[in-house]
């Protein structure tokens, strides 16, 4: 039984995705992650991560037999390439400083074989920040969220409650006014240190137990 990642380029037309996934179901293949996008009006690209693939060669041959399929290629999974994700959301200056700490620390662990990637987005406004926080629950491989701003609360704090109900995501907040600091697992005043601690908390190569300092301020 094997886990594989594949990319399929096919004609962009109704029913192609249905036919391919129907074949996979009949083969007992489970889809763990998928991403579909249109390259141009005639062509679409479908990336999939799959498990329970018993015969990879035969499975790939079955996909190539669809007349709409142009090509099929096998790849390493996104987890193997990009690994665990840390999302940093907030004001531009604070996000930049948190990212500085996170990227520097991630580099140290990635050199030792870890895979940690850092995603950032500077945003302004309660609605925008709340939407971005809620969206973390819909992103794959997210291990930690850092909220980096000068004032956060209200809908943003409620969004933290929502994602924590369904997902085991570590939430780190900068020390700031607003109710977000009451919802966060950890509050850190220094933005660079917040980025460093986020990486240390999720890295397998770090000797750091976030449970020992949860719900504390630094």
Backbone angles phi, psi at 8, to 5 degrees: -115, 125
Question: The domain containing residue 39 runs over which residues?
Answer: 2-78
Instruction: Determine the pLDDT at residue 141.
Output: 93
Q: Which of 60, 78, 96 is the last residue of a domain?
A: 78
Does residue 115 sit in the same domain as residue 191?
yes
Q: Which of 57, 78, 99 is the last residue of a domain?
A: 78
pLDDT in tens, 54-89: 889 999 999 999 999 999 999 999 999 999 999 999
Does residue 67 sit in the same domain as residue 115?
no
Do residues 17 and 36 make contact, with C-beta atoms less than 8 angstroms apart? yes
Whole-structure pTM value? 0.85
Share of the chain above pLDDT 90, in %: 79
Question: Based on the number of CB atoms within 10 Å of its own CB, is 98 exposed (0-12), middle (13-18) or buried (19 or more)?
Answer: buried
Which one, of 200, 84, 186, lies nearest residue 142 by Cα?
84
Q: Which of 78, 113, 136 is the last residue of a domain?
A: 78
For residue 1, pLDDT beyond 70: no
pLDDT in tens, 107-146: 999 999 999 999 999 999 999 999 999 999 999 999 999 9
Does residue 90 sit in the same domain as residue 182?
yes
- In angstroms, the CA 108 to CA 218 distance is 23
Number of domains in the chain: 2
- In angstroms, the CA 162 to CA 134 distance is 7
How many CA atoms does the CB half-sphere of 96 hold within 13 Å?
3
Do residues 30 and 59 make contact, with C-beta atoms less than 8 angstroms apart? no
* Bridge partners, residue 8, by sequence: 46, 72
For residue 125, the domain's CATH number is 3.40.50.10550
- In angstroms, the CA 27 to CA 4 distance is 14
């Amino acid at each position: 039984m094997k886990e594989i990642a594949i990319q399929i380029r096919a004609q962009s037309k109704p029913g192609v995705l249905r036919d391919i996934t129907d074949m996979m179901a009949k083969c007992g293949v489970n889809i763990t992650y998928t991403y579909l996008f249109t390259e141009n009006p005639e062509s679409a690209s479908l990336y999939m991560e799959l498990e329970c693939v018993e015969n990879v060669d035969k499975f790939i041959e079955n996909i190539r037999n669809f007349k709409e399929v142009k090509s099929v290629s096998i790849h390493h999974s996104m987890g193997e390439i990009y690994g665990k994700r840390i999302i940093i959301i907030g004001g531009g200056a604070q996000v930049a400083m948190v990212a500085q700490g996170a990227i520097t620390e991630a580099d140290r662990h990635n050199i030792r074989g870890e895979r940690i990637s850092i995603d950032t987005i500077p945003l302004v406004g309660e609605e925008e920040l709340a939407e971005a926080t809620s969206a973390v629950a819909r992103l794959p491989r997210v291990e930690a969220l850092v909220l980096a701003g000068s004032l956060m609360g209200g809908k943003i704090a409620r969004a933290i409650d929502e994602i924590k109900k369904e997902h085991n995501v570590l939430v780190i907040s900068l020390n700031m006014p607003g109710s977000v600091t009451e919802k966060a697992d950890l509050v850190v005043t220094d933005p660079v240190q917040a980025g460093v601690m986020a990486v240390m908390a999720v890295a397998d190569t770090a000797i750091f137990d976030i449970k020992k300092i949860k719900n504390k301020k630094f």
